[in-house]
């Protein structure tokens, strides 16, 4: 038996509202399958399950707001018998609360989580009436988005994460100017040959080069947890994506360093489409190992980001614009990009950060090798 819990979808999330289940008791689920939709301060997220199994019971019904870590459903391992599961869950439940058998049955029928039910009687035994009340309270399934305070919620989430970042993370900042002549030319000639549906955006070779440069300076990729750095072997590139109407999210493109430019474009397209449509997956929200932010579209020359905790670095890209650029004593006008790095000084020093930006520059001078 295993418990499927409300996942943490970022350092700034403490609770989520279950919007709907995609599963019912008796269903077989596969690792990675989207089983539920949860409304968070950052919108509705598709939540995946992390093991194969059979759905034994749903403990929370749509509309209920539950804290991170709360059990949402009980799963039975493949081959595990139902009896084992029932026994185990019953035992867990009794340890927690005194519940009348009738109330327990009703809670199961209605999908109410007993842990969230407050008994009215002073002796603390949960009755059928308590369960009914809890079920009714959970009913108004008006999501935050529908209730209109969604933007306020998102601002709150951003405020919490960014305040924590500036309070706790000793940022250092570096920037370098990169000649984008070769990348621009490579994109232009490549896109001429591609059908319109397969064109690459300039962001794509930049994403690939950032991911590859991170391989060379692993101190920028991972998390600061419990007072120490935990490097990540995978490079999950969090893409800061503005939402129409305000706010932003930074979901991950997984294993960005090992994806081809075509695969990255497809992943970016999928991600942006779902950000705008309001449907991200829990894994994307939870596991970016580093963030990339790009504000060049708005014409800014350079951006110095605020690290999203518990990550330890954020890379900022400005506008690609023609600027005078001296090479070998001659001033040319070339498409230039200012790339910046804000990194956590507890984990890395300026020297390593400088090596990262140098690697990024080097990689962008050979775009045909980005793959």
Positions that interact with other proteins (CB under 8 A): 188, 191-192, 195-197, 199, 201-203, 242, 244-245, 268-269, 272, 276, 297
Q: Which is nearer to other proteins, 296 or 310 (CB)?
A: 296
Query: What residues contact 64, with CB distance under 8 A and at least 6 apart?
Result: 17, 18, 112, 113, 116, 138
Q: Which is nearer to other proteins, 16 or 202 (CB)?
A: 202
CA distances from residue 119 to 64, 65, 132 in whole angstroms, order as listed: 17, 18, 11
Q: Which is nearer to other proteins, 297 or 366 (CB)?
A: 297
Task: Identify which of 93, 206, 225 has the alpha carbon closest to the alpha carbon of residue 168.
Answer: 225
Whether residue 102 contacts residue 26, with contact meaning beta carbons closer than 8 Å, is answered with no
Q: Which is nearer to other proteins, 275 or 290 (CB)?
A: 275
CB of 196 to other proteins, least distance (A): 5
Q: Which is nearer to other proteins, 197 or 233 (CB)?
A: 197
Query: What residues contact 337, with CB distance under 8 A and at least 6 apart?
Result: 177, 178, 180, 206, 296, 317, 318, 319, 320
CB of 337 to other proteins, least distance (A): 14
CB of 237 to other proteins, least distance (A): 16
Whether residue 18 contacts residue 72, with contact meaning beta carbons closer than 8 Å, is answered with yes
Q: Give the span between the Cα atoms of 154 and 164, in whole angstroms.
A: 15
Task: Identify which of 6, 70, 14, 67 has the alpha carbon closest to the alpha carbon of residue 38.
Answer: 6
* Pairing relationship of beta strands 237-239 and 290-294 according to DSSP bridges: parallel
Whether residue 73 contacts residue 20, with contact meaning beta carbons closer than 8 Å, is answered with no
Q: Which is nearer to other proteins, 24 or 188 (CB)?
A: 188
Whether residue 170 contacts residue 345, with contact meaning beta carbons closer than 8 Å, is answered with yes
CB of 135 to other proteins, least distance (A): 35
Q: Give the span between the Cα atoms of 181 and 332, in whole angstroms.
A: 11
Region of 279 please: left (phi>0), alpha (psi -120 to 50) or beta.
beta
Q: Which is nearer to other proteins, 139 or 269 (CB)?
A: 269
Q: Which is nearer to other proteins, 88 or 201 (CB)?
A: 201
Backbone angles phi, psi at 138, to 5 degrees: -80, -15
DSSP H or E stretch at residue 282:
helix 282-286
Q: Which is nearer to other proteins, 101 or 299 (CB)?
A: 299
Tokens of 302: 């350079």
């Amino acid at each position: 038996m295993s418990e499927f819990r409300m996942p943490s979808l970022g350092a700034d999330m403490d609770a989520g509202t279950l919007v709907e289940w995609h599963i019912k008791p008796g269903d077989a689920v596969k690792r990675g399958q989207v089983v539920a939709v949860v409304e968070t301060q950052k919108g509705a997220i598709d939540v995946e399950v992390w093991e194969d199994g059979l759905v034994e019971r749903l403990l929370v019904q749509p509309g209920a707001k539950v804290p991170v870590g709360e059990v949402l459903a009980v799963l039975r391992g493949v081959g595990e018998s139902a009896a084992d599961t029932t026994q185990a869950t019953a035992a867990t439940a009794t340890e927690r609360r005194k519940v009348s058998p009738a109330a327990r049955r009703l809670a199961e029928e209605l999908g109410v989580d007993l842990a969230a039910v407050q008994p009215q009687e002073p002796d603390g035994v949960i009755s059928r009436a308590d369960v009914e009340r809890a079920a009714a309270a959970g009913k108004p399934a008006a999501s935050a988005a529908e209730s209109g305070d969604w933007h306020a919620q998102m601002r709150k989430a951003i405020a919490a994460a960014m305040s924590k970042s500036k309070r706790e993370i000793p940022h250092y900042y570096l920037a370098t100017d990169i000649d984008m002549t070769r990348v621009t030319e490579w994109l232009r000639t490549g896109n001429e040959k591609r059908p319109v549906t397969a064109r690459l955006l300039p962001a794509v070779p930049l994403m690939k080069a950032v991911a590859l440069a991170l391989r060379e300076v692993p101190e920028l990729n991972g998390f600061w947890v419990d007072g120490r750095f935990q490097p990540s072997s995978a490079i999950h590139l969090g893409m800061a994506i503005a939402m129409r109407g305000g706010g932003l999210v930074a979901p991950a493109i997984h294993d960005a360093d090992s994806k081809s430019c075509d695969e990255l474009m497809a992943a970016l397209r999928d991600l942006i489409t779902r950000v705008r449509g309001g449907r991200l997956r829990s894994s994307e929200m939870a596991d970016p190992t580093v963030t990339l932010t790009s504000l060049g579209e708005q014409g800014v020359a350079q951006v110095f980001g605020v690290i999203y905790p518990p990550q330890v670095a954020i890379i900022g890209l400005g506008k690609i614009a023609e600027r005078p650029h001296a090479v070998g004593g001659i001033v040319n006008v070339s498409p230039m990009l200012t790339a910046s790095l804000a990194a956590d000084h507890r984990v890395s020093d300026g020297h390593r950060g400088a090596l990262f930006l140098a690697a990024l520059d080097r990689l962008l001078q050979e775009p045909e090798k980005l793959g």
